[in-house]
Structure 1
Amino acid sequence: MHVMKTLVLWILPVILLCSFCSVAFWIFLSNNNVSPNPSSKIPQKVSDTQSCKGCKENVFMSKALGNYSNRWKKNEANFKRFRSLLSGKCHAVSKAVVTQNNTPLGSNIIYDGERRKPIQVTQALFNILAKEQPFGNATWESCAVVGNGGILTNSSCGKEIDSAQFVIRCNLPPLDNRYEKDVGNKTNLVTANPSILHEKYSSLMERRRPFVESLRPYGHALMLLPAFSYGHNTAVSLRAFYTLEDFGSNGPLPVFLNPEYLRSLSKFWRERGLNSVRPSTGIIMASLALEICANVHLYGFWPFSKHLNDSRRITNHYYDDRQSKKNVHSMPAEFEHLLKLHKQGVVRIHLGDCQPTHR
């Protein structure tokens, strides 16, 4: 009996102390807005994310529209200054394309997109390189660089694009009758992303005639292949070259984009605050045009899912809604840099519908 009383006397204070600590703990949680059940906060976080979906895009769009004006006038001094900076760093006229002059037999080509063993210029590789730089020293009076943005849909910009002296298109876009009114069909240079060759043409490991026939809309344009950006691009790009040669194609002339030029161009834009993993094809071609053209016009450059005029939903490309790799390219940031050049009178960005005007 004595033992029981002793236990009660010891246990009772412990119980009271535990109760007091428990109450104090709950009061502390309540006062600090901390929930003991983590899952109770999850719906709120998801709701916040969903409710703000597109907020960042809206901010970018508002900023873009604030810097954009249809009343554009070229500033010759700004144009010459920027062009001089660009050509001084990148030398597109002599280095944009791999040639026998800038890449001698026995030299090494260093990939610009990854660290790997350089590829040596063997006799076989040297033989298929362009003998000279395709751009020469000539300057085209007007160039249209055509991005593939959905903003071109129903734009009626086709005739205006085709009126440019030199037309650059990106990533083998479709140019059939469905799109001619909006994007035109004239092509002097077209890029060919190896991912398209892998996905649409089975890496040119199967039937190759469909690939050759698909190139007919581009006529005798230069076809620019980034064969030396990544190791996995080399073989398929060479197969594209040999396919056109084997079929005796009277179509595009394949040439290879120079990784040295791409490294210089990436550094040029990084020095101006563009920190994407790699510049997109669009800004590469816009940069090239700024070195070889006296007047540069950009079409289809609009990296947003809403139209600038009425905020209606538009597709990512004028021909499909496939999304770009956002972890590689920073399209809104690139567009912001191009908009600065538009505002400075260096390039003209065409947004919205085209009107019959004299340029």
Structure 2
Amino acid sequence: MVQLARKSETPEEEEEMEMDVQAEETADSSMDMEQTKGLLPTLNTLERVEPASDLTNLRDLSPPKNQKAYSRNRGKENHILPKVSEVNTKIGGPTTPQKKRLKKKDFEREPKWDFEDKYTMEASAIQTNCPYSVKIKAASSPYLRNQYLHNITLFMDRRIFSEKEWERLEHFVPPYGWMELNRSDVQEAVSFLPPIPQQQILLSANSSQHPKCVSCAVVGNGGILNNSRMGKEIDSHDYIFRVNGAVVKGFEADVGTRTSFYGFTVHTMLASLSLLKGSGFPTVPEGKDVKYILFTEQARDYDWLIALILNKKVKKGLSFYRIRPRDHFTDKFKLQNILVVHPDFPRYLKNRFFQSKKLNTTIWHLYRPTTGALLLMTALHLCDMVSAYGFMTDSYKEYSDHYYDKVMKPLIFILDHDFPLELNLWKKLHEEKILKLYQRPKPETPSPMPPKLAKREKDKSKGPDPKMAPAAVEKGTEGTVMVTASPALTVTEIKDAVLAALDCKLTGILDQIGAL
């Protein structure tokens, strides 16, 4: 193993960083598309680590004393696990060792543990009867055969929590684990989740006596769907997955009408409901058969989940999150209809499909795939045949950010996502016939662009104009987040600039903008 050097801190700096660790760390920035081309990893070059067949077969994953972490930059010094600290017990007599909890600030880039690529697996996963299934194609594909795990555990239930699991997952930041989360909150939330007999919930619903290929449509919110007339084709699938601001009213001809699964994080759902309440998205998708897929990314997601289950109001966090979750669901809500994604699943996706260069930088703990990407990959592990609509393609610059935008809004690249990486992955999976990606040539009639935005686009060739600088979200000193904007912009324009990408972590930004 490579020994990684931990960065040193004075006692004063340690105290300041400890006070700062609870602050939300999100960022919003634009990236140059040309500089990020070719970020798709060569998946076949990743080292294959055989997963444990089930949780009980996982060895004691808590590292022994002086255990080192792997660095993604082999041969370069990075950081090590914090040493075990000795503390004197006031009651009980002798000194006893206490393990110091891992914190994001202890690492300058993503640590790599020797059990990084081990996951909780389903011991007896249902096998598909479809000869054209993604699972069959992946097993025979040189591109995917060593990367795709058909029996990985997708969803949590009350049986998964244990001391060993807590110690293992505490090594990974959310959404990949439980680092810095409150153990009692996580344990309480998970304890409410009913057992899931079969992770392959769609295949288990498909009678083996009548073999059928389970088809799924995953509907993103990309502007490419505006005036696409793909609604009928989308509704023809067995199951339809939607995400975040899944506006249907008024766009039925383009995006269809049916919903089987709704994927979200707490933030993306609440932001969508707040921004699109008057635009056809007053509540989350409803229906007795609709299931909700929650991707947990922060402590607030577990607080929200507990409040949802107990039908109480969230009492922690910013005012934006202090709501009664049941208010966004119908009276027919059932606990069995919410599926909470296991942290192993997004970590598996990150390790094998979304290996961004950002993981080797100081913002490593902010990076995660978009919620739409996580949902599409979930469908690729549940369904036999998958079609993707409204996802990023090479012609994304020709369309507005969302299909429901009333005016042209260009896609804004967010610091905590890697859009070019996802774009290249969708193209590769489409070329390999693993999924069908809806693509579209340049539109004959471009979406209308507001005059001020059109002028800014025209002025780009003349160089930057500080008076017209758009709103920017950046990381400030000591881990804080700053929102800056030119006085020349109105509050509405600032909101449009910042909130054009709903699929990011905007904790605190809404409150800051609202105070302008």
TM-score (norm: length of structure 2): 0.45
- After superposition, give the CA deviation of every residue in 1:74-105 in whole Å (9 maximum; x if it has no partner): 898744435654553x744xx21111233369
Asked if structure 1 preserves the Cα contact closer than 8 Å seen for 2:294 and 2:340, the reply is yes
Deviation at 1:349, TM superposition (A): 0.6
Q: Of the candidates 180, 190, 202, which is equivalent to residue 116 of structure 1? A: 180
Aligned position for 1:185: 257
Deviation at 1:159, TM superposition (A): 0.9
2:187 paired with 1:128: no
Aligned position for 1:233: 301
Aligned position for 1:150: 223
SS at match of 2:353: helix
User: Pairwise mapping of residues 19-38 of structure 1 onto structure 2 (< 5 A)?
Assistant: none
Moved more, 281-290 or 122-131: 122-131
Asked if structure 2 preserves the Cα contact closer than 8 Å seen for 1:149 and 1:303, the reply is no
SS at match of 1:214: coil
Amino acid aligned to 1:128: F
Asked if structure 1 preserves the Cα contact closer than 8 Å seen for 2:218 and 2:388, the reply is yes
Aligned position for 1:8: none
Q: Of the candidates 254, 257, 261, which is equivalent to residue 338 of structure 2? A: 254
Aligned position for 2:439: 351
Q: CA RMSD in A?
A: 4.0
Amino acid aligned to 1:159: K
Distance 2:36 2:190 in 1: 49
Amino acid aligned to 2:349: L
Unaligned runs of 5+ in 2: 1-29, 38-131, 207-212, 275-280, 312-324, 442-516
Structure 1 residues 327 and 126: CA distance shift in structure 2, 3 A: closer
Aligned residues: 270
Unaligned runs of 5+ in 1: 1-52, 61-73, 203-211, 354-359
Deviation at 1:181, TM superposition (A): 0.6
Distance 1:261 1:166 in 2: 21
Q: When you count helix as a share of all residues, which structure comes out higher?
A: 1
2:341 paired with 1:265: no
Asked if structure 1 preserves the Cα contact closer than 8 Å seen for 2:240 and 2:261, the reply is yes
SS at match of 1:129: coil
Q: Of the candidates 225, 246, 251, which is equivalent to residue 173 of structure 1? A: 246
Distance 1:173 1:246 in 2: 14
Aligned position for 1:10: none
- After superposition, give the CA deviation of every residue in 1:108-139 in whole Å (9 maximum; x if it has no partner): 36452473045247885345213215633537
User: Pairwise mapping of residues 7-156 of structure 1 onto structure 2 (< 5 A)?
Assistant: 56=33, 78-81=137-140, 85-88=146-149, 91-92=151-152, 95-103=153-161, 108=166, 110=170, 112-113=174-175, 115-120=179-184, 124-132=188-196, 133=198, 135-136=200-201, 137-138=203-204, 141-156=214-229
2:399 paired with 1:329: no
Asked if structure 1 preserves the Cα contact closer than 8 Å seen for 2:356 and 2:418, the reply is no
Aligned position for 2:404: 319
- After superposition, give the CA deviation of every residue in 1:271-303 in whole Å (9 maximum; x if it has no partner): 698968211122222222222222111111125
2:365 paired with 1:301: no
Amino acid aligned to 2:271: E
Distance 1:338 1:117 in 2: 32
Structure 1 residues 193 and 270: CA distance shift in structure 2, 3 A: closer
TM-score (norm: length of structure 1): 0.62
User: Pairwise mapping of residues 207-246 of structure 1 onto structure 2 (< 5 A)?
Assistant: 214-217=283-286, 219-227=288-296, 229-241=297-309, 242=311, 243-244=325-326
Distance 1:199 1:278 in 2: 18
Distance 1:112 1:231 in 2: 9
If asked which structure has higher relative contact order (CA below 8 Å, sep 6+), I would say: 1
Aligned position for 1:284: 374
Distance 1:123 1:286 in 2: 28
Q: Percent identity?
A: 21
